[in-house]
Amino acid sequence: MPENSFIALFLVGLLGGTHCIGMCGGIVGALSLGKGGRPSLHLAYNGGRILSYACAGALAGAVGEVGVALSGPLPLRIVLFALANLMLIALGFYLMGATRTLAFAERFGHVLWRRIQPLTRRFLPARTMAQAFPLGLLWGWLPCGLVYSALVTALTSGSAWRGAVLMLAFGAGTLPTLLLAGLLATRLNEVLSRPVVRTVSGLVVLSFGLWGCYGVMRAVFPH
């Protein structure tokens, strides 16, 4: 797995900020009310959320590792790597606003989320770090096409720890937008929403995917 996967997932998290605000903006807004405006609550919530991403990445990486071990290293690894790069291409188009195909992935997570969502009520309203952190842990499992797409890349990582680190990179990318909730987040959202920014960011992620697919083609059809 090339190291640019870490960069690509960080960019996807960072530049997909408008999607993150839509998914988590309500909770972030609630943390900003009254005493909830303390930075420590936002840090605790986002820490829990990103930790849940890392756990999901570790699970995906472990599954991929077992699959490769059972089926032989080369064929399945090539298939998974190709799938991950195709997903990066889809994410690139998503960031450019050219497609909404990632929405289908979110439907698969609703079964799990229906079981998790009632647990979040125990920690609302979150007035302490002891409430905000587990709230973030639970909210990290909210069905999200961006997260699921990143998990496909974690699946190809070849190990649980690399899958976890990949998802940490993705989570770190989402952090600025959600952490700077309020006025600064509004300004950041305006910047990220500009067509030129979305186009350039989408092209960057798209280029990672195309370069990865080129590497797969060279592996399958060597000169």
| pLDDT (0 to 100) of residue 31 | 67
Q: What's 36's DSSP letter?
A: G
| pLDDT (0 to 100) of residue 36 | 44
The string of DSSP codes covering the chain is --THHHHHHHHHHHHTHHHHHHHHHHHHHHHTSGGGG-HHHHHHHHHHHHHHHHHHHHHHHHHHHHHHHHH-HHHHHHHHHHHHHHHHHHHHHHHTTS--TTHHHHHTTHHHHHHHHHHHGGG-S--SHHHHHHHHHHHTTS--HHHHHHHHHHHTSSSHHHHHHHHHHHHHHHHHHHHTTTHHHHHHHHHHHSHHHHHHHHHHHHHHHHHHHHHHHHHHS--
3-state helix, strand and coil shares in percent for the chain, rounded to the nearest 5: 85, 0, 15
| pLDDT (0 to 100) of residue 182 | 46
- 157: tokens are 């990582």
- 32: tokens are 């900003």
| pLDDT (0 to 100) of residue 25 | 56
Placement of tokens 């990582």 in the chain: 157
Name the domain count of the chain.
Answer: 1
| pLDDT (0 to 100) of residue 27 | 64
| pLDDT (0 to 100) of residue 49 | 92
Q: Residue 198 is part of which domain span?
A: 4-220
Q: What is the pLDDT along the chain (223 residues), one digit of tens a residue?
A: 556 678 878 887 887 666 566 556 566 666 655 444 577 888 898 899 999 999 999 999 998 888 777 666 567 777 777 877 787 787 778 777 765 656 666 677 788 888 998 998 898 888 889 998 999 999 899 888 778 878 888 888 878 999 999 999 999 988 887 776 544 555 555 666 677 777 877 787 788 778 777 777 776 666 6
pTM: 0.79
Burial label, 84 (beta-carbon count in 10 A; 0-12, 13-18, 19+):
buried
